[in-house]
Amino acid sequence: MAKDKYDLSTGDWVSHVEMIEQEEENQTKFFDPKDMHPSGECVSMIQEFEGFRSKAYQDSVGVWTIGFGTTRGVKPGQTITREEAEKRMLEELDRYYSSAVRSRVRVPLTQEMFDALSCFVYNTGEPQFANSTMLGKLNQGDYEGAAAEFERWVFAGGQKLAGLVRRRKAERALFEGNDWEGYVV
């Protein structure tokens, strides 16, 4: 019969069953990216870093943008409600950006990794991700090397942008399973 264990941190005896449940809960779970979708954590990160703008504007490199950073079909003078912007962001996130992660990544991912990559692709675009060293390292199983690649993507229009530095640090933190909210201003 299995013995109970004394937990020094709580001063309580923990049963063998509770120990097994706790170990299972603490294990990092990896999934086939083809079966994954962005979580609320991904959506929160995008909303935090993109912010909401109800009127179309040109981003730092001149791309027409609206809502929570959506760019597809945006025209000068266009407006959008917050509700419409959230709906559009969610649709485009899963249809275009997370689908790029699903179709390009060939190794198992945690939900945090999938979310960080989806947020990254939402910001940089699918073609950049498809041709990136990050994806190459990831598909070779070099998770640490892939995580280090986030820091290289901090330039827009040849300029290093403080907002991109923060965003990439947050994406890397999430990719590594750490708290990312400390990077939000």
* 115-129 CB burial, b ≥16 within 10 A, e <16: bbbbbbbbbbebeeb
Number of structural domains (the chain) is 1
3-class DSSP assignment, residue 6: strand
* Angle at alpha carbon of residue 118, lines to 49 and 114, rounded to 5°: 120
Q: How far apart are CA 126 and CA 105, in angstroms?
A: 12
Q: Could you tell me which of 115, 112, 122, 129 has the C-alpha nearest to residue 92?
A: 122
Q: What is the pLDDT of residue 1?
A: 45
Catalytic member of 18, 41, 59, 176: 59
Give, to the nearest 10 degrees, the angle between helix 82-92 and helix 40-50. Answer: 120
Neighbours of 42 (CB within 10 A): 25
Q: How far apart are CA 157 and CA 127, in angstroms?
A: 17
In the DSSP assignment, the letter for residue 72 is T
Model confidence pLDDT, tens digit, residues 58-108:
998 999 999 999 999 999 999 999 999 999 999 999 999 999 999 999 999
Catalytic member of 7, 12, 35, 50: 50
Active site residue 35: no
Report pTM. 0.85
Model confidence pLDDT, tens digit, residues 94-104:
999 999 999 99
Question: Residue 24: inside a domain, yes or no?
Answer: no
Q: What is the pLDDT of residue 12?
A: 58
Q: What is the pLDDT of residue 151?
A: 97
Percent of all residues in the chain with a pLDDT value above 70, rounded to a whole number? 85
Active site residue 142: no
**Rg (the chain; Cα; Å):** 20
Model confidence pLDDT, tens digit, residues 5-53:
555 556 556 555 554 555 556 568 999 999 999 999 999 999 999 999 9
Question: Residue 5: inside a domain, yes or no?
Answer: no
Domain that holds residue 155: 37-183
Both tokens assigned to 155:
């330039």
* 134-145 CB burial, b ≥16 within 10 A, e <16: bbebbeeeebee
Q: What is the pLDDT of residue 128?
A: 96
Q: What is the pLDDT of residue 52?
A: 98
Locus of tokens 């330039």? 155
3-class DSSP assignment, residue 122: helix
Question: Residue 14: inside a domain, yes or no?
Answer: no
C-alpha distances (whole Å) from 140 to each of 39, 98, 106 are 25, 20, 9
Model confidence pLDDT, tens digit, residues 134-172:
999 999 999 999 999 999 999 999 999 999 999 999 999
Q: Domain with 173 in it: what CATH number?
A: 1.10.530.40
Both tokens assigned to 2:
């299995």
